Amino acid sequence: MYKIAVLPGDGIGPEVMKQAIKVLDKISQKHNISLQYEFSDVGGIAIDKYDTPLPEHTLKICENSDAILFGSVGGPKWENLPPDKQPERGALLPLRKHFNLFANIRPVKVFKPLKDSCSLKDNLIEDGIDIVIFRELTSGIYFGQPKYISKDKTYAIDTMKYSVSEIERIARLAFEAARIRNNRVTSVDKANVLMSSILWRETVTKLHEAEYSDVELNHMYVDNAAMQLVRNPNQFDVILTGNMFGDILSDEAAMLSGSLGMLASASINESGFGLYEPIGGTAPDIAGQNIANPIAQILSAAYMLRYSLKHDVAATEIEKAIEEVLNKGYRTRDIYTGKEGEVLVNTDEMGDLIVENL
Ligand SMILES: NC(=O)C1=CN([C@@H]2O[C@H](COP(=O)(O)OP(=O)(O)OC[C@H]3O[C@@H](n4cnc5c(N)ncnc54)[C@H](O)[C@@H]3O)[C@@H](O)[C@H]2O)C=CC1
Ligand SMILES: CC(C)CC(=O)C(=O)O
Ligand SMILES: [Mg+2]
């Protein structure tokens, strides 16, 4: 029996999590996988209830679980609180740090039926797109100290710090992934300006020479990478990068797949424990309307089955069911283009359709 900590969070989090649970219920029944969900509050909803974004009992539930299925946290209601009390800084980042989830893996795939929703022209995605971003998740500028706004509020400081061991451990995973994919790693940095990026580049180069010289490696500045992702995404196989660059590039890459609502991620530590979440946020602009795309959350559940629970067949079946539903023309609003054959559905309906196709 697997214990799953389920933390829906804020905004669209609970709406899309409900769909992921429906899918997990169906697939676990089908494959006789015993799942025990432990729901708990995190983020803004936890601030409202317990005056803290990461209550002790939520952390305990996560510690006693085999994996964490996470929605997303934050929203306008909580953004003026002191920094440490805000949902993102006070819950999500501490959770990532607490479990040492240093590797954030963000696969970018275009489901063929969504060619028309993709922000690129058809000819660019004829062969599909299959990229995976390895983003360092527990260090870099989001965590480096010092980090403060001066008392008189005339300046502020963030620190972009990376150690060799932090760079090596994420780079190693990226090289290993490339070996079982198309054998290419693009390491993205800003080594023409940042000291941490100079060390990043040197470290990746040394590791490559010492242990992974069979993998093709090239280095790219992040500004160029942002442009190249739109110009010619198929040049990328594995993208290896730091915390902030990976955050930004993966939102950009989401538009290759049609919508931020389509991409999920796995954040794992050295022992394989993982937190699984959509790459996007709480989407306050559409929350509460039953129109969000639940596919990213459902894919997060599939990645959880694959990476933490080692049920690859079940995960693949979920991915196939999603493809099938898209093939039949069903679209939530974010991926709806109005073309003949498309049927606009809401969040609940999309969840039900995926369950039916399992
Ligand atoms: N992992 C997390 O918990 C994250 C939390 N956030 C937080 O979320 C809040 C809102 O942030 P934003 O910058 O607006 O980013 P966002 O990712 O929530 O939304 C950006 C845009 O994408 C759309 N979108 C996102 N997910 C969607 C889905 N599943 N279906 C359809 N459309 C979708 C939204 O409607 C919006 O127009 C902030 O408080 C932010 O800090 C942001 C990113 C990640
Ligand atoms: C709080 C943010 C770092 C969350 C985010 O945007 C992400 O992890 O993609
Ligand atoms: Mg982000």
Strand partners, 265: 277
Q: How far is the CA of 216 from the centre of ligand 1 (A)?
A: 34
Choose one of 92, 108, 158 to mutate for the ligand 2 pocket test, by most ligand atoms within 8 angstroms of C-beta: 92
SS3 282: coil
Catalytic-role residue among 26, 189, 190, 212: 190
pLDDT in the model for residue 83 = 85
Q: How far is the CA of 102 from the centre of ligand 1 (A)?
A: 22
Q: Give tens-digit pLDDT for 83-104.
A: 888 999 999 999 999 999 999 9
Catalytic residue list contains 41: no
Catalytic-role residue among 26, 109, 142, 276: 142
Give the whole-number percent of the chain exceeding pLDDT 70. 97
Catalytic residue list contains 214: no
Cβ atoms 235, 198 nearer than 8 A:
no
pLDDT in the model for residue 283 = 98
Q: Which atom of ligand 1 is nearest to the CA of 88?
A: 41
Task: Determine which helix (DSSP H) or strand (DSSP E) holds 349, and give its type and residue range.
Answer: helix 347-356
Residue with tokens 């006789």: 32
- Residue 269, annotated as binding a ligand: no
Q: Please state whether the predicted TM-score (pTM) of the whole model is above 0.80.
A: yes
pLDDT in the model for residue 14 = 98
DSSP secondary structure letter of residue 308: I
Q: How far is the CA of 247 from the centre of ligand 2 (A)?
A: 6
Q: How far apart are CA 46 and CA 225, in angstroms?
A: 38
Query: Does residue 66 have its Cβ closer than 6 Å to ligand 1?
Result: no
CA of 151: how far to CAs of 98, 148, 156, 157, 165, in Å? Answer: 29, 9, 9, 12, 34
Q: How far apart are CA 50 and CA 63, in angstroms?
A: 19
pLDDT in the model for residue 124 = 56
pLDDT in the model for residue 121 = 56
Which domains does the chain show, CATH number per domain?
A: 1-106+264-358 (3.40.718.10), 130-255 (3.40.718.10)
- Residue 247, annotated as binding a ligand: yes
Q: Give tens-digit pLDDT for 236-293.
A: 999 999 999 999 999 999 999 889 999 999 999 999 999 999 999 999 999 999 999 9
Query: Does residue 44 have its Cβ closer than 6 Å to ligand 1?
Result: no
Encode burial over 103-120: b for 16+ CB neighbours within 10 A, e otherwise.
bbbbbbbbbebbbebbeb
Q: How far apart are CA 181 and CA 135, in angstroms?
A: 17
Q: Give tens-digit pLDDT for 31-46.
A: 999 999 999 999 999 9
Alpha-carbon 300 to chain mean position: 8
pLDDT in the model for residue 115 = 77
Query: Does residue 88 have its Cβ closer than 6 Å to ligand 1?
Result: yes
| Average pLDDT score over the chain | 95
Ligand that lies nearest to the alpha carbon of residue 137, given by its number in the listed order: 2
- Residue 312, annotated as binding a ligand: no
Q: Give tens-digit pLDDT for 126-181.
A: 667 899 999 999 999 999 999 999 999 999 999 999 999 999 999 999 999 999 99
Query: Does residue 281 have its Cβ closer than 6 Å to ligand 1?
Result: yes
Cβ atoms 280, 260 nearer than 8 A:
yes
Query: Does residue 247 have its Cβ closer than 6 Å to ligand 2?
Result: yes
Q: Where are the beta strands (DSSP E) in the chain?
A: 2-9, 35-39, 67-72, 103-109, 130-136, 144-149, 156-159, 184-189, 216-221, 238-241, 264-268, 274-278, 330-331, 343-344
The pairing of strands 156-159 and 184-189 is unpaired
DSSP secondary structure letter of residue 344: E
Q: How far is the CA of 129 from the centre of ligand 1 (A)?
A: 23
Q: How far apart are CA 153 and CA 168, in angstroms?
A: 37
